[in-house]
Amino acid sequence: MSATNRNRLSAGGLIDRNQTRGFSFDGTRHRGYAGDTLASALLANGVRLVGRSFKYHRPRGIFSAGAEEPNALVELRTGARREPNTRATVTELYDGLEATSQNRWPSLALDALSLNRFLAPFLGAGFYYKTFMWPAAFWEKVYEPIIRRAAGLGRAALEEDPDHYEKATAFCDVLVIGAGPAGLMAALTAARSGARVILADEDFLPGGGLNAEAGDVDRQPAPAFAAGIAAELASLPNVRVMTRTSVFGVYDGGTYGALERVSDHLAVPAPFQPRQRLWRIVARRAVLAAGATERPIVFGGNDRPGVMLAGAVGTYVQRHAVLPGRNIALFANNDGAWRDMLAAQAAGAHVETIVDVRAEVAPELIAAAQAKGIRVLKGAQVIATHGRTLRSLEVATASGTERIAADTLAVSGGWSPCVHLTCHHGGKPAWNEDIAAFVPGTCPPGLSVAGAAKGILGLGACLRDGAETGAESARALGFTVPAHEVPEVADAAFALTPFWHVEGSKGAAFVDLQNDVTAKDVGIAHKEGFRSVELLKRYTTLGMATDQGRTSNVTGLAIMASLTGASIPETGTTIFRPPYTPVSMGALAGHHRGKDFRPVRLTPTHEWARAQGAVFIETGAWLRAQYFPRAGEKDWLETVTREVTAVRASVGLIDVSTFGKIDLQGRDVGAFLDRVYINGFAALAVGKARYGVMLREDGLVMDDGTTARLSPEHYVMTTTTANAAKVFQHLEFCLQVLWPELDVALSSISEQWAQIAIAGPRARDVLARVADGDVSNAALPFMGAVEGTVMDGVKARLFRLSFSGELGFEIAVPARHGAALAQALMQAGETFGITPYGIEALGVMRIEKGHVSGSELSGQTTAGDLGFGRMASTKKDYIGRTMAARPGLADPDRPAFVGFRPVDLSRRLRAGAHFLNRGAAPETANDQGYMTSVAYSPHLGHWIGLGLITRGPERLGERVRAYDPVRGEEIEVEICAPGFIDPEGVRLRG
């Protein structure tokens, strides 16, 4: 172990010195305490170099103490749990934590690509747009692979994430975002009114800036004050305090996205606990109290490890009892940073020098500094830094340049309110001259901003503003807010002189530390005309890194403004896009991954089919039996051939419950069906079913199916499996919107009824043994539909329908009886060798019979294309009729539905092959159509196909080529009528 915690103060801080936390960085073991972040623990152990920059691979150290961190990105954890680009500054230390530096090779100290710094003069903004173009083929082969390997930051895990994620939804009256001084007070006042409050904070410890505050609030140390309020809130039944929870986005209707890090402070999640939880919080009002982010001043060498935001120095000293360095200097333009240093000094840090760009600084500050032995340089600027990690600074003063020793340089250029969430609905922040920062502009509906996020700098003012904003939010919802007392804290004046960039400083001066964008790059963008803020960002990549430019956007804008001579607000605003901080993909996906990606729908006979040895296949959301292999069958084709042969020779059964089933009742159902089907239904007799085709209003085929009339005002419709929901929605639209005057009520009964088809010459014999009533040809003729009972009293609907071309029935029973029906049919059919068949065999038989199915109902075909032209009634209006008459849809040259057989009957056909006339060149102009469906026909002993080919029905007997280059095949096929079996329909009427 290293000299543990050599930079740790012996007392103070919000750490628990009794709870040590062992961790490692780049393989070296260290120790920290509960209450540390990885960054504070690294600093405590004297680790100053933590990463390499994106482009030039420059050594980088910890720069901040929060989510704005641009430098200290590490790979956290190992193996399948490796998390690249993790900010050490917000990573709660846990026992056994392993972190590794990234974007370096072979090691952090000796990074080969740091040689890029010698090329830096040539690698300015946008250099890659101007070169790497010769020769053209070199881009993919040479230049780009090198660039891709050099770019990127951390490495993704190689294996599946082993942890689980959850999603949850919460509702509240007031959502308070941020548990700093303003947020705590806002939550408290809102909560005391009785409003349902959610207080969310990204930190593991509520309090925000109070936890780094040296002074007292309400006669107690600031952190204790924060803890007291948090405890009161947690005790209230109408409040939920969510720590480790980042509200990352504002969506419509008062919906906020939030990420709760349930287990990220543990080595692995506890059993049955998720790693993270995605929250959708629906809030009637929200208070944004996200605080403000300090921003640096840009100067030469400002990226050297040891250069750190002044507020971060304060946080490490006060909250973590860590000295970021032994000898601290400050470079600032404002009073707040002075106070941070004075407080740090009081807590045990050694601050030797304060460099302030201002010529005039409040005398009491100067006196306070000098009283503590701090040297003050006014009107001075840091122009360079030295050391592998920081050893000294060069400071230009009125009297010349001097070199000052320091191992830590605290920098402060002022504060930028965290306006991020206010921009998520397109609101643009407004420039506030007083604090030289962007403050919230138009906010999303229901969102108010409080405290530092609003541009209020000063603890007392933030407490007051938080209380008032919380009260206002509750009042706006009709709650009565009791009188509330706000602790008095005297705020010192906030004095700041805007200052952005030390011109003429030595060495590269970085604006965006993570993306290595320098002040000179902003200059290039200016010269080349990329002056508006959007163009500046895109051209230089300023603000596009994982920190979204929290510490760089305003500075970049200010430098551009100084070059153009325009003001900062004239130059542009900084807009932040969601998420506020990056959100893991796992959390956004939740449980929807692997086999649980989407729900599975099972048919009522699923378990029965499984017991029969079925192989299942995904068809949309359904799992359906694909086929039922038997021992000794060598492949699926042998199985399917057996199933088809058995049906055509005797009898088989299949579950067809997946078809959409719609119940229609009312006086006007017949008239309604007439309007939605192309063919007539008004004359359909009770006890009969009819096949129908529906169009979309644009005239193309939407779906097909049968509708049966069970009683004068009661019909049931079936749709295809794929279009079940779509057709139901369409029918509801027709009824509710187009023809509300019709007396029709619809109900989807797909889930309520199991439906099993039996087919084959013995189908009636089987049915007779199961049905309670007469199922003779006279009682139940072809296309008959009756209600009755089966299995001694189970309510049933019997339909005499055939998809296979054989004598066929469909038996519908309430879903709970589906499996029993299957068993009863199996038993009844045993003597006939009844064979369960799957959807492959179903498909083979429908192709043999020449029925259209999903491949033909592609949404690109007309009724005419599919051979339904003569079905279309000319005596009535129906959905799609008018538009179907357009010349493009009525064109006789359109590909139309026919059958195909290979000329050489030993050849296999392939769906997706295109048709070319014999001798025609393979080019688009000669494309005649394509094969929609194919099957090996056991009945015929060769492959057959269905397809669409130009003027197909006029070309029966003609030979064309089925062109299938993606599978390396081209064979001759003969066009034939689409019915390959029993074209007269003798079997199904038998």
Q: What is the footprint of another protein within residues 586-645 (CB under 8 A)?
A: 586, 588-590, 592-598, 600, 617-619
Give the nearer residue to another protein in terms of CB position, either 434 or 972.
972
Q: Which two tokens stand for residue 567?
A: 């003001």
Give the nearer residue to another protein in terms of CB position, either 159 or 772.
159
For another protein, which residue of 34, 911, 971, 977 counts as binding (CB under 8 A)? 911
Q: For residues 563 and 532, what is the distance between their CA atoms, to the nearest angstrom?
A: 12
Judged by CB under 8 A, the chain residues 422 through 451 that form the site for another protein are 424-426, 445
The verdict on 405 binding another protein (CB under 8 A) reads: no
The verdict on 883 binding another protein (CB under 8 A) reads: yes
Q: Which stretch binds another protein (CB under 8 A): 56-64, 130-138, 234-242, 504-512?
A: 130-138
The verdict on 919 binding another protein (CB under 8 A) reads: no
For another protein, which residue of 471, 700, 796, 847 counts as binding (CB under 8 A)? 700
Shortest separation between residue 166's beta carbon and another protein, angstroms: 12
Give the nearer residue to another protein in terms of CB position, either 113 or 366.
113
CA quadruple 822, 825, 827, 832: dihedral sign: negative
For another protein, which residue of 4, 22, 114, 167 counts as binding (CB under 8 A)? 167
Spatial contact of 601 and 622, defined as CB atoms under 8 Å apart: yes
Spatial contact of 538 and 572, defined as CB atoms under 8 Å apart: no
For another protein, which residue of 889, 944, 960, 981 counts as binding (CB under 8 A)? 889
Q: Which stretch binds another protein (CB under 8 A): 275-283, 301-309, 404-412, 601-609?
A: 275-283
Shortest separation between residue 595's beta carbon and another protein, angstroms: 5
Q: Where are the alpha helices (DSSP H) in 47-125?
A: 116-119
Shortest separation between residue 857's beta carbon and another protein, angstroms: 9
Spatial contact of 971 and 982, defined as CB atoms under 8 Å apart: no
The verdict on 565 binding another protein (CB under 8 A) reads: no
Q: For residues 74 and 72, what is the distance between their CA atoms, to the nearest angstrom?
A: 6
Q: Can you name the residues that pair with 972 across neighbouring β-strands?
A: 961
Q: Which amino acid is at 644?
A: V
Q: For residues 663 and 122, what is the distance between their CA atoms, to the nearest angstrom?
A: 74
Q: Which two tokens stand for residue 412?
A: 């402060």
Judged by CB under 8 A, the chain residues 528 through 557 that form the site for another protein are 528-530, 532, 534-535, 538-539, 541, 545-546, 548
Judged by CB under 8 A, the chain residues 646 through 665 that form the site for another protein are none
The verdict on 85 binding another protein (CB under 8 A) reads: yes
Q: Which two tokens stand for residue 492?
A: 């010192």
For another protein, which residue of 859, 983, 985, 990 counts as binding (CB under 8 A)? 859
The verdict on 914 binding another protein (CB under 8 A) reads: yes
The verdict on 910 binding another protein (CB under 8 A) reads: yes
Q: For residues 19 and 40, what is the distance between their CA atoms, to the nearest angstrom?
A: 15
Give the nearer residue to another protein in terms of CB position, either 434 or 618.
618
Q: Which stretch binds another protein (CB under 8 A): 14-22, 174-182, 189-197, 699-707?
A: 699-707
Judged by CB under 8 A, the chain residues 138 through 157 that form the site for another protein are 139-140, 144, 147-149, 151-157
For another protein, which residue of 3, 110, 130, 683 counts as binding (CB under 8 A)? 130
* Strand-pair category, 392-397 with 276-288: unpaired
Q: H or E segment at 533?
A: helix 533-540
For another protein, which residue of 696, 714, 942, 989 counts as binding (CB under 8 A)? 696
Q: Which two tokens stand for residue 629?
A: 């292999």
List, as one string, the DSSP characters of 624-676. Answer: EEEE---TT--SHHHHHHHHHHHHHHT-EEEE-TTSEEEEEESTTHHHHHHHH
Q: Does residue 52 sit in helix, strand or coil?
A: strand
For another protein, which residue of 53, 855, 937, 950 counts as binding (CB under 8 A)? 855
- Residues 6 or more apart from 343 whose CB is under 8 A from it? 214, 215, 314, 317, 318
Q: H or E segment at 237?
A: none
Q: For residues 207 and 213, what is the distance between their CA atoms, to the nearest angstrom?
A: 10
Q: Does residue 66 sit in helix, strand or coil?
A: coil
For another protein, which residue of 372, 795, 816, 886 counts as binding (CB under 8 A)? 886
Shortest separation between residue 299's beta carbon and another protein, angstroms: 18
Spatial contact of 277 and 166, defined as CB atoms under 8 Å apart: yes
For another protein, which residue of 214, 224, 282, 477 counts as binding (CB under 8 A)? 282
Q: Which two tokens stand for residue 842?
A: 């179903």
Give the nearer residue to another protein in terms of CB position, either 759 or 913.
913
Q: For residues 837 and 845, what is the distance between their CA atoms, to the nearest angstrom?
A: 11
- The structure tokens 């690249």 sit at 84
Shortest separation between residue 367's beta carbon and another protein, angstroms: 44
Number of Cβ within a 10 Å radius of residue 248:
23
Site track for another protein across 352-391, x = CB under 8 A: ----------------------------------------
The verdict on 777 binding another protein (CB under 8 A) reads: no
Shortest separation between residue 544's beta carbon and another protein, angstroms: 8
Judged by CB under 8 A, the chain residues 63 through 82 that form the site for another protein are 80-82
- The structure tokens 């419709």 sit at 717
Shortest separation between residue 19's beta carbon and another protein, angstroms: 26
Give the nearer residue to another protein in terms of CB position, either 83 or 356.
83
Q: Which stretch binds another protein (CB under 8 A): 239-247, 398-406, 732-740, 895-903?
A: 732-740
Q: For residues 445 and 286, what is the distance between their CA atoms, to the nearest angstrom?
A: 9
Spatial contact of 699 and 890, defined as CB atoms under 8 Å apart: no
Site track for another protein across 568-587, x = CB under 8 A: ---------xxx--xxxxx-
Give the nearer residue to another protein in terms of CB position, either 289 or 884.
884
Q: For residues 84 and 101, what is the distance between their CA atoms, to the nearest angstrom?
A: 9
The verdict on 121 binding another protein (CB under 8 A) reads: yes
Helix axes 553-564, 519-527, angle to 10 degrees: 50
Q: For residues 559 and 526, what is the distance between their CA atoms, to the nearest angstrom?
A: 10
Q: For residues 82 and 153, what is the distance between their CA atoms, to the nearest angstrom?
A: 13
The verdict on 132 binding another protein (CB under 8 A) reads: yes
The verdict on 163 binding another protein (CB under 8 A) reads: yes
Give the nearer residue to another protein in terms of CB position, either 351 or 694.
694
Q: What is the phi-psi region of residue 364: left when phi exceeds 0, alpha when psi lies from -120 to 50, beta otherwise?
A: alpha
The verdict on 168 binding another protein (CB under 8 A) reads: no
The verdict on 563 binding another protein (CB under 8 A) reads: no
Give the nearer residue to another protein in terms of CB position, either 79 or 482.
79
Judged by CB under 8 A, the chain residues 960 through 979 that form the site for another protein are 963-967
Judged by CB under 8 A, the chain residues 493 through 522 that form the site for another protein are 520
Q: For residues 958 and 710, what is the distance between their CA atoms, to the nearest angstrom?
A: 45
Q: Which two tokens stand for residue 448?
A: 């108010």
Shortest separation between residue 408's beta carbon and another protein, angstroms: 28
Q: Which stretch binds another protein (CB under 8 A): 230-238, 637-645, 685-693, 737-745?
A: 737-745
The verdict on 266 binding another protein (CB under 8 A) reads: no
Give the nearer residue to another protein in terms of CB position, either 388 or 592.
592
The verdict on 251 binding another protein (CB under 8 A) reads: yes
Q: For residues 902 and 454, what is the distance between their CA atoms, to the nearest angstrom?
A: 76
Helix axes 763-770, 818-829, angle to 10 degrees: 120
Q: Which two tokens stand for residue 540?
A: 């230089």
Spatial contact of 299 and 378, defined as CB atoms under 8 Å apart: no
Determine the size of the site formed for another protein (CB under 8 A): 144
Phi and psi for 764 in degrees, rounded to 5?
A: -65, -35
Judged by CB under 8 A, the chain residues 927 through 956 that form the site for another protein are 927, 930
Give the nearer residue to another protein in terms of CB position, either 768 or 885.
885
